[in-house]
Structure 1
Amino acid sequence: MEWKFKLEKYLNVKLLNYHHKKSFRNNVYLVEVINQDNLKMKFIVKKYEKPKAGNEAFIINSLRNWGLLVPQIIWNDNNIIIMEYIDGILLTDLLSDTNINHQDWVNHLARWLYQLHGTIRHADSNCLCKSDLNLRNFVFTGENNFYGLDFEEVCYHPPERDLGGLCAFILNNDPMFTQWKFRICSLLVENYSKLNANTNNYQLDYQAIQYYLIEEMKAAAERREKQRPYLLAKIEELGGELNIFNSSK
């Protein structure tokens, strides 16, 4: 395969093995290689269906230069990206681990989002946002740090869009709509709000967060045919509440 040839040629390594990782749009591989000094290393190789790798590489490099925690790009052309492998726990797995104190990591997730939004911020309150808020696109390293993955596209919205959208992904991830997940969402918004209050005159609009949460829930209902009736019922229920970001919920 083309990506194997480029990996070995441009990194001057030998491929030992690879594992195909879950991805809805492109082919993503976790690879293990060995270099000329017999040092084994792991990388992520992303093979694009369309020649757009250069766009994502540019975005990731820019975010990294601005101090955001994202993987380092090792090599790329317009079809393939070879990047640093981040060893950690995916956010989707964090939420299913009952042995973890979830409050320990929520603040770090809020800080990562806040830093992303601070990279580009317009006078109309729109800022750089993460297009794909899937829980698999956030990795907790266990060093009080979150890394963001997958930047094929970015968008510009108020920060409430990312907060509401991410809360929707958290709530409708199995087990769905549990009380402790509502508390996680409340804590995420609360921690973000504290960071925002310390450095910005802009005040979060909690109704806007709820609006974006419900919009993402509607999108999830469209994607998930079997869960659609349940999700639509929860959307109606949540839409009638004045403030779902209540830590006592």
Structure 2
Amino acid sequence: MMTPIERIEKYKSKKNHVYAVEFSSNGEKKRAVLKDFNSIESKQQEIFYLQLLRDHNIKVPKILDQHDQMILLEYLAGELLLERIINLEERQIDPELPMVKEVFNQLLSWLGQFYRITENVLEKKMIFGDVNFRNFIINDHLYGFDFEDCREGSPEEDGGAICAHLLTYYPEYTSWKQKACGVLQSIMIEDFHYEKNRLEKATNYYLDIIKERRSIFKKK
């Protein structure tokens, strides 16, 4: 049974209803995240990956409770990956500096763990699928969440989507973002062994998708 809760803030989500909530435990108020899914299938997939990754010591939020199409998740203090990137650009921190490279390495290391564990367990190459920077939180570690779009694929597909997101968060295509994207791609290729041509093809593919989506949105 879902713990009695009070909704205090709604988070941005295109697919589901997601809230910051408070609940009482042993007379003490605690904070959590309530995720109300659009389908049972999506909820079941989220639970599967959260439990699988947590069992293998990959940083994901803990499931506190569940009921019907809802999951109550551990609240993680920290910054969204998107907030961290915005902050670095606003401060004009050179993407070549370790402060920026460390963020990229944290993200790619987390994804590398995801790829290894899912392939070992499922015996097929899986990708995260939705690498929106709002699906990662950084504090002392990097945590990932939102596994509804996980599917078979290659790391370069996730990598291309990451680069496309980086370039197109507002303001789009700034000189900082373009340099940061170059640094990120170099790390992917040189340190994480992404295949260059496949990565560049995936980046262009996702840039076209984002451009088309925004064009449709503007017409409405």
TM-score by length of 2: 0.84
Task: Please say if 1:90 is aligned against 2:80.
Answer: yes
Number of equivalences: 207
Contact between 2:189 and 2:196, CA under 8 Å: does it hold in 1?
no
1:49-93 C-alpha deviation (Å, 9 max, x unpaired): 222312211111111112221111112244111111111111221
Within-5 A mapping of 1:1-249? 6-8=2-4, 15-36=5-26, 38-52=27-41, 53-97=43-87, 98-99=90-91, 101-121=99-119, 127-141=125-139, 143=140, 145-196=141-192, 203-225=193-215
In 2, Cα distance between equivalents of 1:61 and 1:121: 15
Contact between 1:71 and 1:86, CA under 8 Å: does it hold in 2?
yes
In 1, Cα distance between equivalents of 2:185 and 2:216: 30
In 2, Cα distance between equivalents of 1:226 and 1:94: 29
Q: Which of the two has higher C-alpha Rg? A: 1
In 2, Cα distance between equivalents of 1:177 and 1:130: 24
Q: Which blocks of at least 5 consecutive residues in structure 1 are unaligned?
A: 9-14, 197-202, 229-249
In 2, Cα distance between equivalents of 1:107 and 1:173: 20
Misfit runs of 4+, over 3 Å: 189-196
| Higher helix residue share | 2
Aligned Cα root-mean-square deviation (Å): 2.4
Per-residue deviation, 1:16: 4.8
Identical aligned residues as a percent: 26
Judged with a 3 Å threshold, the aligned counterparts in structure 2 of structure 1 residues 121 and 189 are, in CA distance, closer, same or farther, namely farther
Q: Which blocks of at least 5 consecutive residues in structure 2 are unaligned?
A: 94-98
Contact between 1:17 and 1:33, CA under 8 Å: does it hold in 2?
no
In 2, Cα distance between equivalents of 1:18 and 1:227: 29
